[in-house]
């Protein structure tokens, strides 16, 4: 059934920043004295939310340097470099198909809102979205709260919305909002991890319109 609203995650779902995030993690580990290094497969097995727990899993010692300091360092590198990232495979066509089908689209992201606006404008996709729902800081810990606040203002049943993301946290957020969920295995977590959520998992966004019956 065609959804009334499509709620998009941004990083790793629409924005292809996977290689950038992997490289920045390995730089942080090296510069903060950790012997750990990750390839793409290993990264996709440890990445998750809250970010502070992901940092610990990766091997960053938060007793030597605070999470806030590490996060600030990461963001200072990520923000400018993210503008070299492209859209994920299938994203452009899927955004256009949903717009043509009359489906409302919003982004719900762990990214800081000012950055999110700049990234969508840079990639030429800002016009697809009715709203951008981002964070007011760079610690990436308030996605569900932002989503609930937004959903409370809407005049439709949350069950008429579908949240599309690339992590188990996105499935948790969808459940918290009362929305359906589809996960894409081309992002920050492996297909094997995503399958444990018990929701549909697609390989690329190009598969989404057919799954939604568009």
Indicate the domain borders of the chain: 5-16+86-211, 18-84
Between CA 105 and CA 8 the distance in angstroms is 7
Burial label, 23 (beta-carbon count in 10 A; 0-12, 13-18, 19+) = middle
Arithmetic mean of pLDDT, 168-189: 98
Global pTM reads 0.95
Domain spanning 5-16+86-211, CATH class: alpha beta
Give 27-54 pLDDT, tens digit per residue.
Answer: 999 999 999 999 999 999 999 999 999 9
């Amino acid at each position: 059934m065609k959804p009334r609203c499509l709620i998009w995650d941004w990083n790793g779902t629409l924005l292809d920043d996977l290689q950038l995030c992997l490289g920045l993690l390995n730089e942080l580990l090296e510069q903060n004295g950790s012997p750990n290094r990750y390839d793409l497969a290993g990264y996709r097995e440890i990445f998750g939310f809250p970010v502070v727990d992901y940092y610990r899993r990766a091997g960053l010692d938060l007793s030597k340097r605070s999470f806030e300091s590490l996060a600030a360092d990461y963001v200072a590198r990520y923000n400018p470099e993210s503008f070299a990232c492209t859209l994920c495979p299938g994203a452009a066509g899927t955004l256009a198909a949903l717009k043509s089908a009359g489906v409302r689209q919003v982004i719900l992201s762990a990214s800081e809102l000012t950055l999110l606006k700049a990234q969508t404008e840079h990639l030429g996709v800002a016009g697809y979205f009715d709203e951008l729902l981002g964070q007011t800081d760079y610690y990436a810990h308030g996605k569900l709260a932002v989503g609930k606040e937004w959903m409370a203002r809407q005049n439709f049943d949350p069950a008429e919305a579908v949240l599309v993301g690339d992590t188990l946290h996105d499935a948790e957020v969808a459940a918290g909002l009362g929305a359906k969920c589809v996960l894409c295995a081309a992002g920050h977590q492996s297909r094997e991890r995503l399958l444990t959520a018990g929701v549909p998992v697609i390989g690329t966004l190009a598969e989404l319109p057919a799954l939604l019956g568009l």
